[in-house]
Structures are given as C-alpha cells and as structure tokens.
Amino acid sequence: MINFQNVACTFGSQDAGVKNINLNIGEDDFVFLVGPNGAGKSTLLRLIYMDCLPDDGLVQIKNYRSDKIREKDIPKLRRQIGMIFQDFKLLDDRNVYQNVAISLYISHHKTRKIKNEVHEKLNQLNLGHRVHYKPDNLSGGEKQMVAIARALIKDPIVILADEPTGDLDPRASIEVIDQLHKINQENKAVIVATHDYNLVKRVPDARIISLKDGQITSMI
C-alpha cells in the first residue's frame, strides 16, 4: 500500500533528511520507526503525507505517486491518512466535538452523519463526557485520544503517529499505544515514529524499522 523506492529527501546540511530508503508497508502492518533524534523518522512520515516530496526516488501511497501528484490532490491524499502528533495539533479554540467533526466537514459529510459518528467515536474512546471541553481543559492523554478520534473518524487507510507519546506520562503513553494497537487489529495500517524502545515491546507483532542518519539500519 505504501511504497518507497530509492527515496532521498534532504533539507540542507543542518536538517534531518533521509536517503536510499526502500520500504513496503502493507494494509494491516503495525510499523515502529525507531531511532535517535534526527534519524529521519519524521521525514519519512512527512514523505507519506506529502508535506515534502523526495529529491530522488518515488513514494507511492495507493494511487498517489510523489512524481505525479498535483498540489490540489495533496488534500485528497491527506483525507485518507490519519495523523497524530506529539503536540496533538488540536484546534484550541474549538471543543472536543468540533475538533473531531472538522475532519468530516472537510470530507463533505452530512451534518446528521457527522453528529452520529463523532459521538460514537468519542464514546468508543471514553471521551463521551468530554464532548464540550476545550483542549486546554483536557489532560495530555485525553488530548492525544481526541487526536486519535480525529484521525480515525475519517476511516483512513493508514494512521501516522509522530512521537505520539512524547508529551505524555508513562500510563497515558501505554494507553495511546494500546489504542493504536487495537486500531491495527481492525486491519488498519499504523506507523509510529518513536525513540521510546519500551513502547515497542507493547506491540509484539509490530515491524520495527531502525533509522540512523537518514538511512534504514535494520528491519525486523
């Protein structure tokens, strides 16, 4: 489903980039991208949601090819990708319901459907009692669960999580990883970039891709 062929992407000498990446990720894979800061984990994720395009090689996500994609098609691709970030990237001026619903409004769903689906998803993730809360009034773990709800609500082909536990305490971190594992068990690809090796152990069947200096050093 996601395919990297000899991909290189650099941002100048100071910034992290990747080179010579060859990688295949299937529709129900759980993949951990591990490595120290600056290894190229985030760049790999950015290449998938086409926040940057490769200098060399090809990235292909389903029918979207990095060498042929037009700027106006990038939002269409991103609507099929669920994204979770270390800093949550929630809209601070909107409540939990609005933060999740915005994903469906972007995809032009009908209001009634949006209401039903958002409430259902928030209840699934034990956030039903936080519907009208603003992000500032949530704990870190709850914020990340809202981000997961926002990513899941659009029924994406893959969930990308960039250091999703970076700002969370150990208990909340485990909850987030377990939730992502559960999502994966429902046959959805999940790619998690992390430098926390303890979390990797929580998902025994996950593929582990180690990166260093922008290159893949091992694949398990």
Partner 1 sequence: MIVVWFLIKEGFKGLVRSKFAGAFTILIVWITLTILGLGYIIGRDTINAVNSLKAQFDINIFIRESASQEKIQDFADHLKALEEVEDFTFISKDKAAQKFQKEFGKDIYSVLDYNPLPPSFNLQLKPIYRNLASVESITSDLSEFSVIDEIKYKKNFLVMLEKYQRVILYIITGAFLLLCFISIILISNTIKMAIFSRRNTISTLKLIGATNNFIRAPFIIEGVLQGFLGASLASGMIYGLAYLLNNHLQSVVQYTVELNLPIFAVIVSFGSVMGLLGSIRAIRKFL
Taking the complex as a whole, the smallest distance from the CB of residue 1 to partner 1 amounts, in Å, to 18
Taking the complex as a whole, the smallest distance from the CB of residue 8 to partner 1 amounts, in Å, to 23
If the CB atoms of residues 121 and 154 are measured against partner 1, the closer one turns out to be 154
If the CB atoms of residues 78 and 195 are measured against partner 1, the closer one turns out to be 78
If the CB atoms of residues 34 and 153 are measured against partner 1, the closer one turns out to be 153
If the CB atoms of residues 98 and 215 are measured against partner 1, the closer one turns out to be 98
What is the C-alpha to C-alpha distance for residues 181 and 202, in angstroms, rounded to an integer?
Answer: 9
What DSSP string runs through 174-195?
HHHHHHHHHHHHTT-EEEEEES
Taking the complex as a whole, the smallest distance from the CB of residue 211 to partner 1 amounts, in Å, to 22
The 3-state DSSP composition of the chain as helix, strand, coil percent (nearest 5) reads 35, 25, 40
What does the H/E/C string look like for 143-176? HHHHHHHHHHCCCCCEEEEECCCCCCCHHHHHHH
Taking the complex as a whole, the smallest distance from the CB of residue 197 to partner 1 amounts, in Å, to 27
If the CB atoms of residues 60 and 107 are measured against partner 1, the closer one turns out to be 107
| Cα atoms found within 13 Å of the Cα of residue 30, Cβ hemisphere only | 20
Angle, CA of 109, 75 and 92, to the nearest 5°: 75
Which tokens belong to 77? 């691709």
Q: Which residues bind partner 1 (CB under 8 A)?
A: 49, 51, 72, 75-81, 83, 89-94, 102-103, 105-111, 150, 154
Taking the complex as a whole, the smallest distance from the CB of residue 139 to partner 1 amounts, in Å, to 20
Q: Looking up tokens 């609005």, which residue turns up?
A: 98
